[in-house]
């Protein structure tokens, strides 16, 4: 464990950072609990990012093998949900979908899950990770909360320190840093993506999750989306996230090193004569 943290996390209190992707396409990994978790909330953003040249990977902890009232076995349901998710990912331009195979409803924050996430982060090297806000204070699904926390724990400090899950080195996987997270389901979102131009692609992706949506009528879904955009005073449809950044803190120089003069370092103010050394 590091005694002195080499980074700090900063949010809305600091100067607003540039939007993600301002300097060119990024690699993003979305790590969620169930098939449809990513697409229902974020498919517009995923479509936009893919259209802008980003490389996007999906990781699903479960295959959604319990959420049905139909007469299907868990295996049948899982196979169907996985195929629905792959179809939606194809619509959006996602490069690859990985299923971790945990049982629906029983995702726990374990060292095993953290290690699997670390391994994938080291393999695919994303710049940005999208996941659930595991610390959302209001009601939350067990799997959503736990995949969010396990993912956060994988990002700091495990993935960046090679002695965590050192066995990955045998596969040629090296330590990696992820400095940006987008959290879904936060009660305090602060990062908004205008997806007005990607509503049709989002609806097409949602329609792929045929076993999980209330209507399969494309026009009805499109109308709902556009009405939602209109309710925002005609400002279009947005998807909301909480952005968390990991920024390296300036390291203090050793005490015996001369300090450079700087305009930001005020001169000591004498109080009642010469200032005593301290």
Instruction: Give, in order, the Cα–Cα distances in Å from 58 to each of 76, 126, 147, 200, 246.
Output: 21, 11, 13, 21, 22
Instruction: Name which of 178, 174, 144 is nearest 41 in CA terms.
Output: 144
Kindly indicate which of the ranges 36-44, 89-97, 145-153, 170-178 contains the residues binding Zn ion, using the contact rule CB under 5 A: 36-44
Residue 67 beta carbon to Zn ion: minimum distance, rounded to whole angstroms: 8
In this chain, which of 34, 152, 168, 202 binds Zn ion, going by CB under 5 A?
34
**Per-position x/- string for 162-191, each x denoting binding to Zn ion as judged by CB under 5 A, each - no binding:** ------------------------------
Say how many residues touch Zn ion, by CB under 5 A.
Answer: 3
Within 8 A by CB and 6+ apart from 159, the residues are: 117, 118, 121, 122, 175, 176, 177, 178
Q: Which of these ranges, 31-39, 51-59, 102-110, 118-126, lies near Zn ion under the rule CB under 5 A?
A: 31-39
- Residue 37 is a binding residue for Zn ion (CB under 5 A): yes
The one segment of 37-45, 154-162, 176-184, 261-269 that binds Zn ion by CB under 5 A = 37-45
Distance, C-alpha 161 to centroid of its chain: 20
Tokens encoding 184: 């879904």
**Nearest to Zn ion by Cβ — which residue?**
34
Using CA atoms, how far apart are residues 189 and 273, in angstroms rounded to an integer?
52
Stretch that binds Zn ion, among 30-38, 91-99, 218-226, 237-245 (CB under 5 A): 30-38
Nearest CB to Zn ion, comparing residues 212 and 240: 212
Strands 128-132 and 55-62 come out as unpaired
Q: Which is nearer to Zn ion, 34 or 114 (CB)?
A: 34
User: Per the structure block, which two tokens stand in for 236?
Assistant: 């279009």
Which residues form the interface with Zn ion (CB under 5 A)? 33-34, 37
């Amino acid at each position: 464990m590091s005694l002195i943290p080499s980074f700090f996390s900063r949010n809305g209190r600091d100067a607003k950072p540039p939007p993600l992707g301002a300097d060119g396409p990024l690699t993003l990994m979305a790590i969620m609990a169930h098939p449809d978790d990513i697409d229902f909330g974020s498919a517009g953003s995923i479509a936009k990012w893919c259209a802008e040249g980003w490389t996007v990977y999906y990781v699903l902890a479960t295959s959604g093998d319990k959420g049905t009232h139909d007469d299907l076995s868990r295996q049948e349901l899982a196979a169907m949900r996985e195929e629905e998710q792959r179809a939606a990912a194809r619509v959006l331009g996602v490069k690859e979908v990985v299923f971790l195979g945990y049982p629906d409803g029983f995702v726990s924050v374990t060292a095993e899950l953290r290690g699997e996430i670390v391994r994938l982060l080291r393999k695919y090297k994303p710049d940005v990770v999208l996941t659930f806000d595991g610390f959302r204070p209001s009601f939350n699904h067990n799997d959503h909360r736990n995949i969010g926390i396990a993912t956060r724990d994988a990002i700091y400090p495990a993935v960046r320190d090679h002695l965590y899950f050192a066995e990955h080195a045998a596969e040629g996987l090296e330590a990696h840093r992820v400095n940006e997270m987008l959290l879904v389901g936060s009660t305090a979102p602060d990062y908004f993506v205008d997806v007005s131009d990607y509503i049709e692609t989002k609806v097409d992706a949602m329609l792929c999750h045929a076993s999980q949506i209330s209507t399969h009528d494309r026009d009805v879904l499109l109308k709902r989306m556009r009405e939602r955009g209109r309710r925002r005073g005609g400002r279009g449809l947005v998807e909301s996230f909480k952005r968390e950044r990991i920024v390296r803190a300036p390291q203090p120089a050793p005490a015996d090193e001369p300090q450079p003069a700087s305009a930001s370092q005020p001169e000591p103010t004498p109080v009642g004569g010469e200032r005593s050394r301290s």
